[in-house]
Amino acid sequence: MSCVGFRTLIASLAAAAMAACTAGSGAGLDQNGQPIGAGGPPPLTADFTSIQANVFTPICTRCHIGAGAPQGLQLDAAHSYSLLVGVPSAEQPSLLRVKAGDPDNSYIIRKLEGGPGIVGVQMPADGPPYLPQATINVIRSWITNGATQAMAANVSPASKMVQRFAVAATSPESNSVVMMARPAIVVAFNHEVDASLVNYTTVTLQKADITQPADPMSSAGTSAQIPVSTTLADGNPTAIVITPRVPLAAGTYRVTLRGAGGGALADVNAQALGTDYSFTFTVDVAP
Ligand code: HEC
C-alpha cells in the first residue's frame, strides 16, 4: 500500500522507490517509508529491542495498536513483549503466540510464514508484501535463544529494584470493549512475580454487571465468579495469563488481584502489591 504513492513520482525516482519497496518487502522501510539505516533504527538483530524497532513498530502497529487491536494483540513497544511471550493465541488457544525456545510452535511465526494451521490470513494482513524470510529467521533466532526481553537501556537494574512492585499493563485494557468470548487476559508487572502466589485466591475473574435477574451465571445480587486457570506466562515471569475456562457471555467482567494479607500477590523479593488491584472490561459478543 505504501508503494502506491510512489507512482506519482517521475519515472526514474519511481523505479528506484519501487526497487526499495521490493528489496525490503516493507521490512526495510521505516514509518516514513525511508530505508532503515537512514536515520532509522540500527539494523535488525536477534534481540527484542531490535525486532521491536525494525518490525513491530514500523510494520505491525499500523493495525496492532490500541485497545481495539486485532485479537487484543497490541504490538507497540509498551505492550508487545507481555502480550507475546507465553500468552496463548486468541485464534489458536492451544498455541502460544511466542513459545520461548520453540519457534515452530510459536503462533506468530506461523502467522508470518503463512502456515501451518493458522486461522485467518498471513501477516501483515494487508500483504503482500510479507516479511522476507531472512527477517522472519531473525525473529526465529530470538525465540530459539529464549525470547528474552532486553532491559530498557534507560532503566538501570538498581533503579528498577527500588520501584514498588506494581501492575505495568493489562490486556484487555481497563474499561475497554473486546469482541472475543475467550480473551487472553494478561496482567504485566514491573518485577518478576512469585509463581507460588499465583492462584485462585490471589487472581479472580467475576461478572461485574448482574443486570438480568435471569442470568444463569449469577446468584441473586452477587457477582458471579468465572472459573479460570491462572499461570505465569511461560518464559516471561513478569506477566500473569488468566484463561477463562468457559466462553464469556456478553457483559462486563472484573479482574481482581489480591495485594494485601496472607499469601497476597508479591514479586520474587517478597514485596507485595500493597493493596488490591482491579480492572474491568466488557465483552461484546456478536449476536
Ligand atoms: C493491515 C492490518 C494488519 C497488519 C499490518 C498486521 N496485522 Fe496481524 N492481524 C490483523 C488482523 C485483522 C488479525 C485478525 C484476523 C486474522 O488473523 O486474519 C491479525 C492477527 C494477528 C495474529 C494472531 C493473534 C492471535 O492471538 O491469534 C498475530 C500473531 C499477528 N496478527 C501478528 C502480526 C505481526 C507480527 C504483524 C507485523 C509483521 C502484523 N500482525 C501486522 C491485522 C494486521
Our answer on whether the CB atom of 110 is closer than 6 Å to any ligand 1 atom is no
pLDDT computed for residue 161 by the predictor: 57
Neighbours of 204 (CB within 10 A): 18
Our answer on whether the CB atom of 90 is closer than 6 Å to any ligand 1 atom is yes
Our answer on whether the CB atom of 123 is closer than 6 Å to any ligand 1 atom is yes
pLDDT computed for residue 273 by the predictor: 95
Is residue 259 within 8 A of residue 273, CB to CB? The reply is yes
User: How would you write the pLDDT of the chain (287 residues) with one tens digit per residue?
Assistant: 344 333 333 333 333 434 443 444 455 655 545 555 556 678 899 999 999 999 999 999 999 999 889 998 999 999 999 999 999 999 998 999 999 999 999 999 999 999 899 999 999 999 999 999 999 999 999 999 999 987 544 455 555 557 899 999 999 999 999 888 888 899 999 999 999 999 999 999 999 876 555 555 544 445 589 999 999 999 999 999 999 999 999 999 999 999 999 999 999 999 999 999 999 999 987 66
pLDDT computed for residue 136 by the predictor: 98
Our answer on whether the CB atom of 113 is closer than 6 Å to any ligand 1 atom is no
- 91 Cα nearest atom in ligand 1: 27
Q: In angstroms, rounded to a whole number, what is the distance separating the alpha carbons of residues 230 and 128?
A: 38
Please tell me whether the peptide bond between 237 and the residue prior to it is cis, using omega within 30 degrees of 0: no
Is residue 247 within 8 A of residue 286, CB to CB? The reply is no
Neighbours of 163 (CB within 10 A): 12
- 88 Cα nearest atom in ligand 1: 26
pLDDT computed for residue 180 by the predictor: 84
Terminal Cα-to-Cα distance of the chain (whole angstroms) = 33
C-alpha cell at 97: 503466540
Neighbours of 73 (CB within 10 A): 23
Q: How many angstroms does the Cα of residue 74 sit away from the middle of ligand 1?
A: 10
C-alpha cell at 147: 525470547
Q: How many angstroms does the Cα of residue 131 sit away from the middle of ligand 1?
A: 13
Amino acid residing at 133: Q
Q: How many angstroms does the Cα of residue 126 sit away from the middle of ligand 1?
A: 9
Our answer on whether the CB atom of 126 is closer than 6 Å to any ligand 1 atom is yes
Residues with Cβ within 8 Å of residue 86, at least 6 apart in sequence: 96, 98, 99, 100, 232, 233, 234, 235, 236, 239, 241
C-alpha cell at 255: 479482574
Is residue 267 within 8 A of residue 193, CB to CB? The reply is yes
Q: Is the dihedral of CA 75, 114, 185, 175 positive or negative?
A: positive
Residue 247, Cα to own-chain centre: how many angstroms? 20
Is residue 158 within 8 A of residue 265, CB to CB? The reply is no
Is residue 2 within 8 A of residue 24, CB to CB? The reply is no
Q: In angstroms, rounded to a whole number, what is the distance separating the alpha carbons of residues 64 and 94?
A: 21
Our answer on whether the CB atom of 97 is closer than 6 Å to any ligand 1 atom is yes
Q: How many angstroms does the Cα of residue 123 sit away from the middle of ligand 1?
A: 5
Our answer on whether the CB atom of 98 is closer than 6 Å to any ligand 1 atom is no
pLDDT computed for residue 158 by the predictor: 58
Our answer on whether the CB atom of 58 is closer than 6 Å to any ligand 1 atom is no
pLDDT computed for residue 211 by the predictor: 54
Q: How many angstroms does the Cα of residue 229 sit away from the middle of ligand 1?
A: 25
